[in-house]
Amino acid sequence: MRSISTTDLSVFPICLGTNVFGWTADKEASFAVLDAYVEGGGNFIDTADVYPYWATRESTSETIIGEWMAERGNRDSLVLATKVGMLKGLEGLAPATIRTAIENSLRRLRTDRVDLYWAHVDDRDTPLAETLGTFGELIEEGKVRYVGASNYGADRLAEALTVARAEGLPEYVALQQPYNLVERGYEGELREVVAREGLASTPYYSLARGFLTGKYAQGLTIDSPRAGQAAKYLATEHGPRTIEALAKVAAARDVEPASVALAWLAAQPTIAAPIASARNLEQLRPLLAAAGLTLTEDELSLLDTASRP
């Protein structure tokens, strides 16, 4: 287990992303994935009020997770995270928006609190003190335990922490941002802020929209909603090199490339738990395997070199 910053949140090394629940995974498939994740030792579940609104026009992921927790009676053994700020009609981080969103999320999730509540995207139109002040009220009321920043730039993340400390408001304890072997923009000023301020990172797009599973090889046609997005990495110089390096390490370790890609990410500075989603048990298996995979320095170096643009 790993800690989220200096909080008492102890989490499995791989966070289960649930943006596919109600979209490419129906309720039955979602329940199966959730059951297998927990049986495999997992306890960290990440959702959002906007998952997958783009497909269902409802906050289906939260609803499915809430029904599952109610049936299993396991809420207290989980670290549950959801987000506010991107759902249609509840965009932004104004106090009234946050208030409405948290009540809706708690109702769908059938719980009285969220362990980690993410500001889903920066809102420059709302003063940081107002957003953080509202989060503070929710923490005092017991509806939220900790708050995190998702999709914040380095300057705004640093500013939010400064404002919080100056005004005695809750500080963001974690950052969620894109990061994987073929998208390494995090390894700059943003990571420096996270490291300097003692935050933890739980990156998304950990498998580069499926590209790092190795299934999007040259010449192959894959039936997946993400195939078009993932295939763009093949057009780069470092994309195919990365897949080749992943395949080499995976073969030597007798695991799947996805497990290696997640293990590499989990080994990077500031990373607490990469987020990865699965729409069925077949996709979940390499995620669980990654949690127990520790790469050698030589393997990490090979992957680092191959994946640099």
**Residue 51 bears catalytic tag:** yes
Q: Residue 176: which of 27, 287, 47, 36 has the closest Cα?
A: 47
CA distances for 188 relative to 90, 154, 191, 195, 269, angstroms? 32, 9, 6, 11, 12
CA distances in angstroms from 48 to 32, 105, 165, 288, 295, listed in the order given: 20, 8, 27, 22, 31
CA dihedral angle for residue 53, residue 55, residue 60, residue 62, rounded to 10 degrees: -50
Residue of 51, 117, 186, 233 marked active site = 51
Which residue type occupies 66?
G
d(CA 151, CA 171): 16
Report, as residue numbers or ranges, the catalytic residues: 51
